Structure 1
Amino acid sequence: MPVMPNAPSILSLDAEVVQTESVELTVIGAGAWGSALASLVQKNNHTVRLWSRRSEISLGEAVDQAQVILSAVSMKGVPSVVAQLRDIDIPPETILVTATKGLDPETTRTPSQMIQAAFPDNPVVVLSGPNLSKEIEQGQPAATVAASLHPAAAEAVQYLFSSDTFRVYSSPDPLGAELGGTLKNVIAIAVGVCEGLNLGANARSALITRALPEVIRIGTHLGGQPETFFGLSGLGDMLATCTSVLSRNYRVGYGLAQGKPLAQILEELGSTAEGVNTTQVLVAIANREGIPVPIARQVHRLLLGKITPQEAVEALMERDLKPEACDL
């Protein structure tokens, strides 16, 4: 269930301020995604501090005077970042943005839920969409969603990042936007397997199409709005992640289909593939809540080494016949 914030404080930052003044923003996480986001804001003539654990200054110094704090760390780093921020005096009008796609294995919460629970008085914004960081760094056109229960905060972030190559839409459904971007990573692993086995365009299209109702079923059960999953942060993100070799999760599935051990694939990637952890947490949620997740379940078994890629495909193809409109 979504963590509801308290009544929003009066923001010192809104869309008009963003368009007329230089805003101070701190990006936590200096990886490819964090660096790409920092670059977008800098191009709009705002002041950006990019911070990581290897930075020479402390996190407290990095966020001092920041009007917007954006977390772009991997999922495993979110609990630590939240804990560190709680020890800092963050003003309630500071906008907190999360650009992480994942689920916490301990609490099964999303990053925005964890941040909102720690900072109930602050506006929290989710930034999520079909955004492959390498393409954004190259200045190729892209679009994303700034979603928040605080419309003014979402609009401020919208204008903060928007440019002639990066279009940002606003949304009132942060949880749905976040879950869409998170759950599609599991599907990307499945599609990578499909591609690695050379099963063809028909199989890939069928898999993505059948995956969408599975994602919607999970996402709406957890509190997201159905229409969100048909937008940029849902279907849009799924298409980008499931059809590009730039996607780390896609490459995990592709490698498994080639017979590579998971540990070797992750080492070769040299970066985090969030879908691996998300699959484990998702199946745990599905078991707890009684949610049917046939595709995610086969991906989970494959990641655990309990079945081969071929057996995973066979298990999905041999399921009972049913009407297409049936969502199970």
Structure 2
Amino acid sequence: MSDQIYSTSKFKTQNSKLSITILGAGAWGMALANLAAANGHRVRVWSRQGPHTLEAVLENAQIVLSAISMKGVSDVTSQVHSFPLSPETIFVTATKGLDPETRCTPSQIWQTAFPDHAVVVLSGPNLSKEIELGLPAATVVASNVPTAAQVVQLVFSSNLFRVYTNPDPLGVELGGTLKNVIAIASGVCDGLQLGTNAKAALVTRGLTEMVRIGNLWGANTETFYGLSGLGDLLATCNSPLSRNYQVGYQLAGNKTLTEILANLQGTAEGVNTCRVLMQIAQQQNIAMPITEQVYRLLQSEVSPRQALDELMLRNIKPEYNY
């Protein structure tokens, strides 16, 4: 695709106020909608239960941002594909997860459906509640079309929301996806009151697992040490506002996964992501000990305390393989 059709100067001079469609009216979708609206852009929000049809909100859309849960991405992508869109329309995905059937990331699903359009990944340490309260935050937008990422950067940037660009969309997307599994483990750690030393070790070794699987898929190692990797990992592993953290914390309190998910506001994407990751790890023979124990815990194969024992009693080894 041509990089020139997404010229930032063109979008700024000809369309100082862009027409933006947000797919998904959950907390994250609404937080992003409010950020764009505060910058003067024309924002329309769609949800399955909303009053507007998908066709209506997509009309003349210059940016289509998806903030729907992973389980709905394939279906909504197919629906969007049936409506006419400008060839210059930029797709932005803010979903964090993996498709259980294809194991694709959200951006891969969008790019397959719209191969001639720019697709931008938006991910970072962005707890929706804090953004709604006007607290400062930062995020990353990444694309194989740099000027498209720059356009999206301008749309959402403000004095309270700092947006960086990155040329590694896969790494940015995987950082936001993989950390959800470690956040479940972190919630367990806090729920069992294991202390700061244990938490620090868990998060650090969790990052190692994220890099390991990310490298397998072709993502850059450096990306995982940025906002969408380490930054998002720190946020979700340390905040009760994180749904994935809550899953782990409540599992440590002897609640069942079914009970937890039934009362959780929103989707804990780490539950499904963990299952997909274990399939990949087993097929590729990749060592992911933390992910494995989270998976066994979610499957009720071990208790939180047994999962801890399994991690602590593993064979001793060097920290890095040089």
Q: Structures share a fold, TM > 0.5?
A: yes
State the secondary structure of the residue aligned to 2:142: strand
- Asked if 1:11 is matched to 2:12, the reply is no
| 1:266 aligns with one of 261, 278, 285 | 261
2:112 is matched with 117
- Asked if 1:246 is matched to 2:241, the reply is yes
- 1:18–1:284 distance in 2 versus 1, CA, 3 Å: farther
| 2:293 aligns with one of 289, 298, 316 | 298
Q: Equivalent residues in 2 for 1:48-63 (5 A)?
A: 48-63=43-58
Offset of residue 113 of structure 1: 0.3
2:25 is matched with 30
* Residue pair 2:98, 2:177 contacting (<8 A) in 1 also: yes
- Asked if 1:97 is matched to 2:97, the reply is no
Stretch of structure 1 that moved more, 172-181 or 16-25: 16-25
Moved >3 Å (runs of 4+): none
Q: If the length of structure 1 is used for normalisation, what is the TM-score?
A: 0.95
- Asked if 1:286 is matched to 2:281, the reply is yes
* Residue pair 2:290, 2:311 contacting (<8 A) in 1 also: yes
Offset of residue 244 of structure 1: 0.3
Q: Equivalent residues in 2 for 1:155-234 (5 A)?
A: 155-234=150-229
Unaligned runs of 5+ in 1: 1-6
> What is the RMSD of the two structures over their aligned residues, measured on CA atoms?
1.3
Deviation sequence 1:204-226 (CA, Å, 0-9, x none): 00100111111000011112111
Q: Distance in 2 between matches of 1:117 and 1:16?
A: 26
1:152 is matched with 147
Offset of residue 15 of structure 1: 5.3
* Residue pair 1:128, 1:178 contacting (<8 A) in 2 also: yes
Q: Distance in 2 between matches of 1:30 and 1:13?
A: 29
* Residue pair 2:188, 2:250 contacting (<8 A) in 1 also: yes
Q: Distance in 2 between matches of 1:158 and 1:67?
A: 14
Deviation sequence 1:198-257 (CA, Å, 0-9, x none): 000000001001111110000111121110000000000000000000000000000000
Q: If the length of structure 2 is used for normalisation, what is the TM-score?
A: 0.97
Q: Distance in 2 between matches of 1:173 and 1:12?
A: 18
The one-letter code sitting in structure 1 at the alignment partner of 2:133 is: Q
Q: Distance in 2 between matches of 1:50 and 1:215?
A: 33
Offset of residue 54 of structure 1: 1.4
* Residue pair 2:61, 2:85 contacting (<8 A) in 1 also: no
2:64 is matched with 69
1:312 is matched with 307
Offset of residue 264 of structure 1: 0.8
* Residue pair 1:15, 1:159 contacting (<8 A) in 2 also: no
State the secondary structure of the residue aligned to 2:5: coil
The one-letter code sitting in structure 2 at the alignment partner of 1:110 is: T
The one-letter code sitting in structure 1 at the alignment partner of 2:103 is: T
* Residue pair 2:189, 2:198 contacting (<8 A) in 1 also: yes
Q: Distance in 2 between matches of 1:270 and 1:263?
A: 14
1:4 is matched with none
Identity among equivalent positions (%) equals 57
Q: Distance in 2 between matches of 1:311 and 1:275?
A: 20
Q: Distance in 1 between matches of 2:205 and 2:148?
A: 35
* Residue pair 1:15, 1:152 contacting (<8 A) in 2 also: no
State the secondary structure of the residue aligned to 1:11: helix
Offset of residue 306 of structure 1: 0.3
2:42 is matched with 47
Offset of residue 92 of structure 1: 2.0
* Residue pair 2:35, 2:156 contacting (<8 A) in 1 also: yes
Unaligned runs of 5+ in 2: none
Offset of residue 12 of structure 1: 5.4
